[in-house]
Structure 1
Amino acid sequence: MKVYSVRELSKLAKISVRTLHHYDDIGLLKPAKRSEKGYRLYHQEQLLLLQQILFYREMAIPLKEIAQIINDPDFDVLKALEFHKGEIARQIQRWEQLLVTIDKTMLELKNNKAMINDEALYRGFKPEEAKQVRQEAIDKWGEEEMENAEQRIREKGNTGWKNHQENDEEINQLLASMVGFKPDDVRVQKVILRHFKQMNLYYEVSKERYRGLGKLYVEDERFTQYYEKYKEGLARFIQQAIEVFCDNDLKVIT
């Protein structure tokens, strides 16, 4: 049977000699025997017991409680190892989940290095117009809903917001190229469906709200001018196409 001195065990277990002395003094881990000169000597049984002690210490269990556990007559090393294995597996799962969370947070922070500001949120409007538009939306839909919509945009990060704006531009260009088509043309309605889905990325758009949005394009000069820069008559064309889409219960009828 291999015998370990206190220094050999200290090196093997990567704990200090003083700690082993302390465990001996409090009766937590007694050496198997002592040499003629009084030096502590340990066998494999003590190594296994020390392993258990260190496992329980990793779980932040006080030494007094560890002593009660390992000194219990029913204490079984194999069952204890099975218990520790399960605990370690759960810890690994927890740490893996934390790593996923950290990676996700890091990615979001990288995408949001330059936070989206109010100017970016209301690009296309003059500062005074943007402020007025925002206040009108609050008056109509409520401040909470307005703030939720703005937060959803900010959460996209600069990359996501840029992609969103590119989709907006593509939809507007497509609709501008269709001015002169009948509003109920299936080709127009497919683009309007894209427009509707795009709007729902800002906030939940009901049929009534979508109709109201269409009317806003022709009744509010600021929105009319925004669309007219693409092509004359575009604001009215979109409003008419939206009416058809809503009449068809927010579906494209082919």
Structure 2
Amino acid sequence: MKQHRFTVHDVVKITGISRRTLHYYDSIHLLKPTEIADNGYRLYDREALARLQIILILKDLQAPLKDIADILQLPRVEQQQLLVQHQKALLQQKQQLEFSIERIDQWIHGAGWHELTMPDSSSLIPLQQQYETEAELLYGHTEVYQQFHSQLDAEANPSIRQQTQNDFENAMESIYQQLAALIYEPIELERIGLLIAQWKALLETQMPCDAELLTCIAQTYVEDIRFVNYFDS
């Protein structure tokens, strides 16, 4: 007794797959029709329908089509090995998505674009490294910049050098926060002057600060949109 054959219309109705996708699976040899009728119609038996249902399940599990073709040809033990690898890839994607959600949450709650933390796996060059390259291109020819880097290079221990940089940034952030708090209070020149003196003294722990350099820094604070947005926040 000849088995029942399903037309493309039948398969679309049963599985919800589009006609175009079904034809595409045929073209890449992922799911060939059981036979082609005299009128040219593609026909599928129940075994082909079952194969398609497994394909759709694997696709819903985010398995690439090229891997699905391999999985279907392998015994169960080897299928498990491929799916274990696929599971690891999905877990990595999950971590990346969770990190992206966390960064979006940071932005929604007030962080600036340049303040968002980036994962170690990011393909982007770290912002701190970008800032350092930018500074070198802008000021690398100046004596002050060269003295600053000579001072950094003198510290051979990378961990100590990084800790020193972190301490500097935290102290600078504290001064910025104190200055920001004064915006909404009556002007107190003595208090503001004290904070500016602390700011200058902190800078001088990293580099010699003459009037020309301080002017350059002040102009950067006013003209660089990244600093403007940072101070506005």
Q: Tell me the TM-score normalised to structure 1 length.
A: 0.37
Which one has the largest radius of gyration? 1
